[in-house]
Structure 1
Amino acid sequence: MAPVTAWAGPTETPTPPTDISIAVVVCSGSVSGCVRQADGVTQAGEALGWTVTRFDGKGDPVGQNQAMTQAINSGVDAIILAATDPVPLSGAIELAASRGIPVGAAGLGIAATDGVLFDVAPDYTLWGDQLGSWIVTDSGGTANFLPTVDREFPSSPAIADAMVAAVDRCDECVVQDTQQFVVTDIGNGLGQRISSALQAEPSIDYVSGAFDSAAADMVPAMGNSGLSDRVTLVSCVGAPQNLGFIRDGNIQAADVVQDDVFLGYGAVDQMIRVLSGQPLWETSGVTDDRLRYSQGAPSRLLTIDNVDEVTDQYWVAENGYVDRYLELWGVTP
């Protein structure tokens, strides 16, 4: 997939308000994508002179509710959820609304609700279709595929379901039952569990890692189980370790990457509009409500054919978005 040089984001933004305090509720401090989305919010907020405070949800609903409640009680002007599922937070989101604290999100792949005013995220269904289609092509139409999913993240089932649908369209391919896990399984036996499932069914030759932090737990376990020459893994997000697996030919062969920092900048841009009492920016040409406020969030499929085009530690969208946002906000770089 070619570099993403096109700009599908906003062309105007209201004058940003000043003296703003914003909180970021991070899904888990151990999941790189969530952390980098918070990095984007922090960078963008600090460029505006805002105060940005992070609260770690620690990868489980109890910790995320505690983080959300702490954010509300800290007296912030607004809250952004960094890939933190709002469903288990309904009570805390109602509390925020009762105190006049707007809540937005990044990296979820959900439609706006009364409680969560926007979500800035790429098209995760497209990701699943891209990865599933890649598996079919790479296998020559004979893949035996093991999907995995973490339903704590709304994006994960969207990706997994689309991947399964794409492989299912292949007449000679086989799709196994989906393996489910949660964030707290990462580093606590997840890799070995998936390796055991692969050993129990020797015909499986493709597996999804769901997302890169989980995939990074699976790859070493598969290697230690002697599966390196048999199984090919695909994943998404774009963590440096996973791009290294692709470069080294180490089990993982494809990754759909997003620029998580972009998502943070986009969420701040939408929050400027909310705090200014102006309409949210709607992405042109979008019919899926989940993408209405996405700000044209970019993504890119990386394989051995193009992974070396990523010269930084993480993929950075090639459309110069930082300078574009700062110009929209009237901030001198």
Structure 2
Amino acid sequence: MKKYMACIATVVAVGSVSACGSSNGSSTGSAPATAATTGSKAATGGFTGSTKLPSGKVGVLQVNAQSERIQIWGKTAKDALSKVGWKSEVIDGKGDPAAWAQAMTTFINEKVDGIVTLAIDPAAILPQLKAAKAAGIPVITAGITVAGPGKNLYAANYAPPDGRFGQVLADYLKTKFPAGTEYVDQDLTAVSGAHALITAGDPLMKAAGFKLVGTKDLNPADLVPQTSKAAVDLTAGHPKAKIMLTCCDFAPPIVVPALKQAGRTGVTIAARYDNPSSLALIRQGAPVVIAAADSDQSVLLAIGQLLAKKASGTAIDPKADAGKYTFKMVDKATVPASGFVFDPATQIAAAVKQWQTEYSR
């Protein structure tokens, strides 16, 4: 599994790409979280002056730093920890289970105060999760939901509900296209959180009268050519399809140029996350819509929980992120002129402020 999850760095580097979903710009879902919380107390903040918080270190394991969204989450973790005076070690897992295992072993040997994994299902690192638990090192997975054997070894899984992205996209699309519209799916069943978007969105699409006429399951070991080829094959095989519902955030910057070259520019690409590449595509008029969420909250919640545990022994709350996420559809009518829909820097600042209040003497 050499390359998976999200927009490929080389694609991002060479072109403007974007994925966004839109509607009237209003949010759907629960009210936005104003800061990351630590469980028994609200946690936030940058630590200035005297503080009761001891120093610490967190290991952050990225499933694959070629993912644009994974890069953003890793930077959020690093920046937030720096602002509170903690050390961080961010390791790119390169989509390779062997690299994930080695990184986990490194963190355990270094006796870090906690580990945050980004988009790694537990079965792939089961021995290391057991070793971390035996060593008393809490491991929290953030960003995307995980599933499978060993899920209970994570102290918590903080992520916007992945199925909700599919629901938000379906609700939007049925207001823009008539019943009977044909559509195709790009799925990634090898990644549970990615697949959840499709399994939640398809029933709503079908209930609204849309016709699913084709599906391609992507190979996570070869994402860029797989995603491009699948898009061309799906639209060539189903020329009446007007929508491509995709599991993930990496599709728009790959699919848009592929379909343009194939002469299939009339297909709307429906994806997730307010990646800069996807937002750029929307600003340029590409047929892209995305469901966005303030997913950096999940990373900040994980850090807040680890800070609280080190500072006062507070038990990690596996339900600390309940109701913390806001979803928005973004399209050409609602895309911001610049920046993110949910700015990571703003979310970090709010969390740091809370942590400062929590731990200042």
Report the TM-score, using the length of structure 2 for normalisation.
Answer: 0.79
Kindly indicate whether the alpha-carbon contact (under 8 Å) linking 2:214 and 2:234 is maintained by their aligned counterparts in 1. Answer: no
Q: What is the alpha-carbon distance in structure 2 between the residues aligned to residue 134 and residue 63 of structure 1? A: 39
**Residue 35 of structure 1: CA displacement?**
1.4
Change in Cα spacing, 1:27 to 1:45, as seen in structure 2 (3 Å) is same
Q: Secondary structure at the match of 1:307?
A: coil
Kindly indicate whether the alpha-carbon contact (under 8 Å) linking 2:214 and 2:238 is maintained by their aligned counterparts in 1. Answer: no
Q: Structure 1 stretch 243-252 or stretch 320-329: which is displaced more?
A: 320-329
Match of 1:212 in 2: 249
What letter matches 1:91 in structure 2? Answer: P
Correspondence 1:94-243 to 2 at 5 A:
94-110=130-146, 113-171=151-209, 173-229=210-266, 231-243=267-279
Two-structure CA RMSD over aligned residues (Å): 2.8
Matched, 1:306 2:328: no
Match of 1:12 in 2: 42
Match of 1:87 in 2: 123
Match of 2:283 in 1: 247
Matched, 1:329 2:359: no
Q: What is the alpha-carbon distance in structure 2 between the residues aligned to residue 206 and residue 46 of structure 1? A: 43
Q: Deviations over 1:74-117 (max 9, x none)?
A: 33221001122223111111111122211001112248943111
What letter matches 1:271 in structure 2? Answer: L
Kindly indicate whether the alpha-carbon contact (under 8 Å) linking 2:158 and 2:298 is maintained by their aligned counterparts in 1. Answer: yes
**Residue 67 of structure 1: CA displacement?**
2.5
Match of 2:291 in 1: 256
Kindly indicate whether the alpha-carbon contact (under 8 Å) linking 1:195 and 1:221 is maintained by their aligned counterparts in 2. Answer: yes
Q: What is the alpha-carbon distance in structure 2 between the residues aligned to residue 64 and residue 41 of structure 1? A: 18
Q: Secondary structure at the match of 2:141?
A: strand
Q: What is the alpha-carbon distance in structure 2 between the residues aligned to residue 251 and residue 117 of structure 1? A: 40
Change in Cα spacing, 1:84 to 1:177, as seen in structure 2 (3 Å) is same
Q: What is the alpha-carbon distance in structure 1 between the residues aligned to residue 282 and residue 116 of structure 2? A: 32
In the alignment, which of 60, 67, 70 is matched to residue 106 of structure 2?
70
Identity of aligned residues (%): 19
Q: What is the alpha-carbon distance in structure 2 between the residues aligned to residue 188 and residue 170 of structure 1? A: 32
Report the TM-score, using the length of structure 1 for normalisation.
Answer: 0.85
Match of 2:18 in 1: none
Q: Deviations over 1:217-271 (max 9, x none)?
A: 1111111111002x1111001111211222222232x101233433322221122
What letter matches 2:86 in structure 1? Answer: W
Q: What is the alpha-carbon distance in structure 2 between the residues aligned to residue 2 and residue 319 of structure 1? A: 21
Tell which has more relative contact order, 1 or 2 (C-alpha 8 A, sep 6+).
2
Correspondence 1:20-39 to 2 at 5 A:
20-39=56-75
Gaps (5+ residues) in structure 2?
1-24, 45-50
**Residue 177 of structure 1: CA displacement?**
4.4
Change in Cα spacing, 1:216 to 1:209, as seen in structure 2 (3 Å) is farther
What letter matches 1:161 in structure 2? Answer: T
Change in Cα spacing, 1:124 to 1:189, as seen in structure 2 (3 Å) is closer
